[in-house]
Chains A and B, each alone.
Chain A
Amino acid sequence: MAALEDEFTLSSGVLSAGPDGLLGVEQSNKTDQFLVTDRGRTVVLYKVSDQKPLGSWSVKQGQLITCSAVCNFQTGEYVVVHDNKVLRIWNNEDVNLDKVFKATLSAEVHKIHSVRGTEPVLLFKEGAVRGLEALLAEPQQEIEAVLSDGEVIRWTKLFMVFRHPVLIFITEKHGNYFVYVHMVNSHTLSKYTLLRGQEEKSVIQSFTASVDRKFISVMSLSSDGCVYETLIPVYPTDPEENQRVVSSLLLRAVVSGSAPSGVALTVLDRDHVAVLGSPLSASKECLSVWNIKFQTLQTSKELPQGTSGQLWYYGENLLMLHGQSLTVIPYKCEVSSLAGALGKLKHSHDPGIQVMPPFVNWEASQGDGLGSQHAEQPRRILRRRKIEVSSQPAVPPSKQLLTTIMKDSEKHIEMELRKFLAVKTPDFHAIVGDLVTGLLGRCQVEPSFCPRNCLVQLIQTHVLSYSLCPGLMEMAVKKTDVQLLQLCLQRFPDIPESVTCACLKIFLSIGDDSLHQAEIDMESVFDYGDSVQGDNVAAPVDVLQNGFSPEGDTCLSCCQEVPAKPQDAAAATPTCPVTPQRAALLNAILHSGYSEAFLLPHLKDIPAQHITCSENATMTLPGIHPPTLNQILDWICLLLDANFTVVVMIPEAKRLLISLYKFVKSQISVYSELNKIEVSFRELQKLNQEKNNRGLYSIEVLELF
């Protein structure tokens, strides 16, 4: 649960916080130290744990600091700009800012940004971006103007995306907002126009952003009190074009728009945002933490002395100006089991899985984010659709795409397809089907053409089914493309049993080497895959035992019946005879739907040596999405039914049959015990009911024997 802890104040003696608040609070190179710059002449270095300043520097009387001081994480020096153009660099030992390094620039600086892992980046008021080192090499270099006249920078932020600094800044001109994404290293700049829907009339009061692999999520707090989210791709598809991005409502009415000192918004983590402002119901200002996933208010704290409408979040501390003093509120968000459970629930939306398996490995799916990352996949796809491609073609996009499919190169098709999928079209189902048939058609004509990525993308739209594109799986079977087959098995609701069987055959017969190369979704054997690298298979056994424990019982009976065979007991602990890749594939088969009557004849065709292998495998495949016990047992039964005579004959199958027999026996004994005590339970229940019915006074009949 997200929680705000007790606040504490940093001594404010040295600061002169004006009515507009502070110029900025930036992180220093030590974790709990912050550089606080006021709107006058002073920079103070605070240590939060000590609640007191470590150092303070001022510029001369008459000078004015114009952008907040930052720490250069690579050198440990501090950088500040005063009087718009004068750059100062100093370190902890320096006392007087007048005597430290000085560089006068040719253009006015808007802000210096510094994050860990890169040099500080300067953003000029005209929109140009320079790294500090490049600038210091030639301070008087010419700075180009990027922004048009009257365009003012409203908000900026620097991110590290895959170790590359990306600067995003938002400008405003005549009530229109523009988003610029500047890749600092490659100097590519892309501009987006921020399209605002129904909230056009309101004024955006605060921005915040977080980066999520490929997208920057910009959140804005409007004067109508709502939070909107805009997704902007980090790597623009077409850097030259002016694209448009649409903002969508994320949270409704979190604050009243008419706060005297403004409102502020900051992203805390993937699910939480902090909002500073006065809530609709109260007049006092409040810091509140909202869960954007569930749209709930998690916690809030009143700030009766008023704030400057500024909020910073570094590490685990929220900093703000409360009254005249700088206040720190630590924020903690511990993983709660409810969130974990809800995160897991998303899995059940995947087709092909009807119920949660009874023996879920809670530790594996809760603690680390791997499961939930996967869960987000569909959401991201949905959001991607919100980005509108600005060039509106005259022909319907699907037609256009079909023609590209027939002619263009694989790369181009892929790109076009991505654009197409991002836009919602009315006849989506049919068009996707057409596209697949188109792709397959070209495949047949041109054997070298293999649009795998496109197909994967199309399958993942969740709208395809086997009957919509019957050729797809046939082609995959022909090419023994196990990854595609697995995807199909997971996504398609209507695979004929013959194809399922064909898949099974492929999965069992394919060589381990080619399996290693294939990119297989290992989620269903996630747990197993982890442990298989260490010692062979030890952990998964426990997981299975949550559902049933044939091992324990067989061990016991082994010991009782054949005391002379110690190696038997060792053999009773099942080890998975197949690689995790193959196990994942087999799990996909187990999860797929089938009808016994139709499946049985096809199963008879499976070669004998594969049967034992598959049966052994089915018993030992745990993971996040392990098949249910019933699914496993049904498959084992079917396999045995289909190939009973063969299985009985093969010597390798003997042990398997024995263990199966023991398992069934133990199950029967458990059930018979349960049956025996059922009567007692019923009696107990009856007794309980009687006890509750009794009043304060009764006359009863008692007979003593």
Chain B
Amino acid sequence: MGEFKVHRVRFFNYVPSGIRCVAYNNQSNRLAVSRTDGTVEIYNLSANYFQEKFFPGHESRATEALCWTEGQRLFSAGLNGEIVEYDLQALNVKYAMDAFGGPIWSMTASPSGSQLLVGCEDGSVKLFQITPDKIQFERNFDRQKSRILSLSWHPSGTHIAAGSIDYISVFDVKSGSAIHKMIVDRQYMGVSKRKCIVWGVAFLSDGTVISVDSAGKVQFWDSATGTLVKSHPIANADVLSIAVADQEDSFVVGTAEGTVFHFQLVSVTSNSSEKQWVRTKPFQHHTHDVRTVAHSPTALISGGTDTHLVIRPLMEKVEVKNYDAALRKITFPHRCLISCSKKRQLLLFQFAHHLELWRLGSTVATGKNGDILPLSKNADHLLHLKTKGPENIICSCISSCGSWIAYSTASRFFLYRLNYEHDNISLKRVSKMPAFLRSALQILFSEDSKKLFVASNQGSLHVIQLLEGSFKHLHAFQPQSGTVEAMCLLAVSPDGNWLAASGTSAGVHVYNVKQLKLHCTVPAYNFPVTALAIAPNTNNLVIAHSDQQVFEYSIPDKQYTEWSRAVQKQGFHHLWLQRDTPITHIGFHSKRPMHILLHDAYMFCIIDKSLPLPNDKTLLYNPLPPTSESDVVRRRTAHAFKISKIYKPLLFMELLDEGTLVAVERPLDDIIAQLPPPIKKKKFGT
């Protein structure tokens, strides 16, 4: 198959932000996740847990609460006191509205989804009416002494429970007055804490209020009488989050020790109708605070400071015991944060607020498989480019020649020209970007670095011609009438003639750049596109979907290629389909047109289209080199998928030239080392 020199890069110092909130939407089976840096991500649980959308973070927009409302609208609220609605089509913030109650700590939508309730720092609980295009303040509830940290509606919509510091209030929605105040015990195991913070409440339809607090208790209250019914001390540290299943037969809580406890309503004896809440299962998938939990009909979802999103299917709720019933742990974003300049061997790393440009090292030595070659030149950190303003970077790109760098935040687009003089580099910003180029979802340079393609969040695609130090706007491909769906993936053919663009749901559009018109649309597929690329010479468009299917579409012929049809006819190997991270990048070998390079977080694969496809009986992944086997055996067992799992977690992989690969890894240990230390737990008694 071939021998490669692999630049194994581990200096991409990327640390994902901790997860603050998750919100599950039952109708669309989507999960919204907000992180501590304000980023909001949308995961499609039906599409193999693919992260299909994201909204870039903002320094001042620390999200404290996230909720879905009627019509699958997504709202967030945070410590800057604003309620934000997100536009899930255009992938931008629709509007932000100040609630005028100081920092917002909690938010919840009414059971009908037509009203929004926020709990503020000043102790006020505010009710908002959701109108078709905005939200409208309706009224305040009785103001409380201290901040409202958690809120929950009664399923009938008549009452709400609000958790504060040291007490829980129950409000009547009609009158807006507090009808009960339930004081939470500060003491826990004889230790009196200064305050007991009610981190979460849940209102059940039978009137029970479940609270979780900083003293490590899960407590059941009778809201009719305002009395404590039962108390479960479950942790020595705070219990931070709670989520109840829609059927109200189970709920889940997360603690600061990283443990998630599952509570279920079970019969006291096997035949009796009397039921009680029992702590059934503890899960320890996190090392740090579990800041938030969600309960989908079939799974427990949790996230926290350790940045992992954990989806733990409930085995008793899963009907088909297939691979979907396995635990999912999502750590890395499902998009590419790295671009590379093949000619100058440069890597551009995208962080939340800065870019880093590195030049790869070199070696003159050669070796055999597995050798680590002595470096004649180490990798250099060339550039550290900080963004201006509080917004996170959405996307970035470096041109193939290394002379251009472009990046975009939610409101500004930046283009830089780089000059290399021996070891010095100079950076010059291209000023006066046109007004329509305010924000980009994806940026791409053509192979010859003469053109720049920008996918804006209005759904249009801009083609810009780059000149020495300036630019010229050539054309804007407007979205088809009636759709506003933003394009988030772009691919350009190496000859510069074809541009492919994909949104989150509609098919892939292919444009002719020479004639500046839409060439064709690849038929829409059920699952979102995770990566796409156009092969040199043949101009075949390779598309990877979140269900792990890979298609090859011939642009000139406007049809799927023979190989793609053959693959679809035979089907992919079952192990290939069971991978749980999406393919995030596709590359090609300039000298070997039959080869396609793909990678996800845990493997990379070179598909050799000339070889037979593997069927389910053949071994898909064989890590061991053939030793004593004869050539005949090797040829018989050889198949098209050449997989390597050496590099993981793999964030980026690209072919620099025929014999050189660059692999960017981000070991989990390095991320953990940068997280705050977890709560120390004793492993052994004294």
Measured CB to CB, the residues of A under 8 A from B are 1, 336-338, 694-705
Q: Which one of B33-41, B94-102, B370-378, B402-410 contacts A?
A: B370-378
A-side contacts of B370, CB under 8 Å: 700-702
A337–B684 CA distance with the chains assembled, in angstroms? 10
Measured CB to CB, the residues of B under 8 A from A are 1-11, 361-363, 366-373, 375, 378-379, 606, 622, 625-626, 634, 642, 644, 646, 661, 685-686
Least CB separation from B375: chain A residue: A699
A690 → chain B closest CB, angstroms:
10
B-side contacts of A696, CB under 8 Å: 9-11
- Would you call B2 and A698 a contact (CB within 8 A)? no
With A336-B686, A337-B685, A338-B686 as contacts: A701 and B10 at CB distance below 8 Å? no
B357 → chain A closest CB, angstroms:
15
Given contact pairs A699-B5, A702-B661, A704-B644, a sample of 5 additional A-B residue pairs in the complex whose CB atoms are under 8 Å apart = A700-B6, A700-B371, A701-B4, A703-B368, A704-B606
- Would you call B10 and A705 a contact (CB within 8 A)? no
B316 → chain A closest CB, angstroms:
34
Least CB separation from B660: chain A residue: A699
B592 → chain A closest CB, angstroms:
12
Q: Name A701's contact: one of B11, B373, B626 (CB within 8 Å).
A: B373
Q: Name A702's contact: one of B4, B378, B634, B685 (CB within 8 Å).
A: B4
B-side contacts of A1, CB under 8 Å: 686
A-side contacts of B1, CB under 8 Å: 703-705
- Would you call A701 and B3 a contact (CB within 8 A)? yes
- Would you call A704 and B2 a contact (CB within 8 A)? yes
A474–B371 CA distance with the chains assembled, in angstroms? 74
A567–B622 CA distance with the chains assembled, in angstroms? 51
A-side contacts of B5, CB under 8 Å: 699-702
A700–B642 CA distance with the chains assembled, in angstroms? 18
B-side contacts of A698, CB under 8 Å: 8, 372-373, 375
A-side contacts of B661, CB under 8 Å: 702
- Would you call B6 and A702 a contact (CB within 8 A)? yes
A217 → chain B closest CB, angstroms:
27
- Would you call B622 and A697 a contact (CB within 8 A)? no
- Would you call B6 and A697 a contact (CB within 8 A)? no
- Would you call B361 and A701 a contact (CB within 8 A)? no
B-side contacts of A695, CB under 8 Å: 10
| Secondary structure of the B contact surface, majority rule | loop
A-side contacts of B363, CB under 8 Å: 699
B-side contacts of A705, CB under 8 Å: 1, 622, 625-626, 634, 642
B542 → chain A closest CB, angstroms:
19
Least CB separation from B638: chain A residue: A705
A591–B35 CA distance with the chains assembled, in angstroms? 66
With A337-B685, A338-B686 as contacts: A701 and B367 at CB distance below 8 Å? yes
- Would you call B686 and A701 a contact (CB within 8 A)? no
A109 → chain B closest CB, angstroms:
43
- Would you call B361 and A697 a contact (CB within 8 A)? yes
- Would you call A699 and B6 a contact (CB within 8 A)? yes
A-side contacts of B372, CB under 8 Å: 698-700
Closest 7 CB pairs of A and B: A703-B369, A704-B1, A704-B642, A696-B11, A703-B3, A701-B367, A696-B10
- Would you call A700 and B373 a contact (CB within 8 A)? yes
- Would you call B625 and A702 a contact (CB within 8 A)? no
- Would you call B371 and A694 a contact (CB within 8 A)? no
What are 11 inter-chain pairs, A to B, with CB distance below 8 A? A694-B8, A697-B361, A698-B373, A699-B363, A699-B375, A701-B3, A701-B5, A701-B368, A701-B373, A703-B4, A704-B606
- Would you call B4 and A697 a contact (CB within 8 A)? no
Q: Name B379's contact: one of A336, A338, A697, A704 (CB within 8 Å).
A: A697
A-side contacts of B371, CB under 8 Å: 700-701
B-side contacts of A702, CB under 8 Å: 3-6, 369-370, 644, 646, 661
With A702-B646, A704-B644 as contacts: A697 and B2 at CB distance below 8 Å? no
- Would you call B686 and A700 a contact (CB within 8 A)? no
A703–B624 CA distance with the chains assembled, in angstroms? 11
- Would you call A699 and B626 a contact (CB within 8 A)? no
Least CB separation from B358: chain A residue: A697
Least CB separation from B634: chain A residue: A705
- Would you call B10 and A703 a contact (CB within 8 A)? no
B8 → chain A closest CB, angstroms:
5
Least CB separation from A5: chain B residue: B190
B15 → chain A closest CB, angstroms:
15
A115–B323 CA distance with the chains assembled, in angstroms? 72
Least CB separation from B642: chain A residue: A704
A-side contacts of B361, CB under 8 Å: 697, 699
B-side contacts of A704, CB under 8 Å: 1-4, 606, 642, 644
B570 → chain A closest CB, angstroms:
22
Least CB separation from A695: chain B residue: B10
- Would you call B6 and A701 a contact (CB within 8 A)? yes
A73–B3 CA distance with the chains assembled, in angstroms? 93
A695–B361 CA distance with the chains assembled, in angstroms? 14
B-side contacts of A337, CB under 8 Å: 685-686
- Would you call A697 and B378 a contact (CB within 8 A)? yes
With A699-B372, A701-B367, A704-B644 as contacts: A694 and B10 at CB distance below 8 Å? yes
- Would you call A697 and B366 a contact (CB within 8 A)? no
A98–B490 CA distance with the chains assembled, in angstroms? 104
A291 → chain B closest CB, angstroms:
14
A703–B642 CA distance with the chains assembled, in angstroms? 10
B-side contacts of A700, CB under 8 Å: 5-6, 8, 370-373
A702–B604 CA distance with the chains assembled, in angstroms? 12
A698–B664 CA distance with the chains assembled, in angstroms? 11
B214 → chain A closest CB, angstroms:
21
A700–B626 CA distance with the chains assembled, in angstroms? 20
Least CB separation from B625: chain A residue: A705
A-side contacts of B2, CB under 8 Å: 703-704
A294 → chain B closest CB, angstroms:
14
Centre residue among A338, A694, A697 by max chain B CB count within 10 A: A697
A694–B372 CA distance with the chains assembled, in angstroms? 10
A1–B3 CA distance with the chains assembled, in angstroms? 63
B631 → chain A closest CB, angstroms:
12
Least CB separation from A693: chain B residue: B372
B13 → chain A closest CB, angstroms:
9
Least CB separation from B368: chain A residue: A701
A701–B373 CA distance with the chains assembled, in angstroms? 7
A-side contacts of B373, CB under 8 Å: 698-701
Centre residue among B10, B372, B373, B375 by max chain A CB count within 10 A: B372
A696–B8 CA distance with the chains assembled, in angstroms? 8
Q: Name B7's contact: one of A338, A694, A699 (CB within 8 Å).
A: A699
Q: Name B369's contact: one of A336, A694, A699, A701 (CB within 8 Å).
A: A701
Least CB separation from B622: chain A residue: A705
B-side contacts of A703, CB under 8 Å: 1-4, 368-369, 625
A493 → chain B closest CB, angstroms:
38
Least CB separation from B367: chain A residue: A701
B668 → chain A closest CB, angstroms:
12
A694–B667 CA distance with the chains assembled, in angstroms? 11
A328 → chain B closest CB, angstroms:
15
A-side contacts of B368, CB under 8 Å: 701, 703
A695–B7 CA distance with the chains assembled, in angstroms? 12
A107–B269 CA distance with the chains assembled, in angstroms? 73
- Would you call A699 and B8 a contact (CB within 8 A)? yes
A1–B626 CA distance with the chains assembled, in angstroms? 60
Least CB separation from A337: chain B residue: B685
A22 → chain B closest CB, angstroms:
29
B515 → chain A closest CB, angstroms:
40
A701–B375 CA distance with the chains assembled, in angstroms? 13
Least CB separation from A697: chain B residue: B379
A697–B362 CA distance with the chains assembled, in angstroms? 11
A694–B669 CA distance with the chains assembled, in angstroms? 13
A-side contacts of B11, CB under 8 Å: 696-697
A-side contacts of B685, CB under 8 Å: 337
A-side contacts of B644, CB under 8 Å: 702, 704
A703–B2 CA distance with the chains assembled, in angstroms? 6
A2 → chain B closest CB, angstroms:
11
A588–B679 CA distance with the chains assembled, in angstroms? 51
A698–B379 CA distance with the chains assembled, in angstroms? 9
Least CB separation from A703: chain B residue: B369
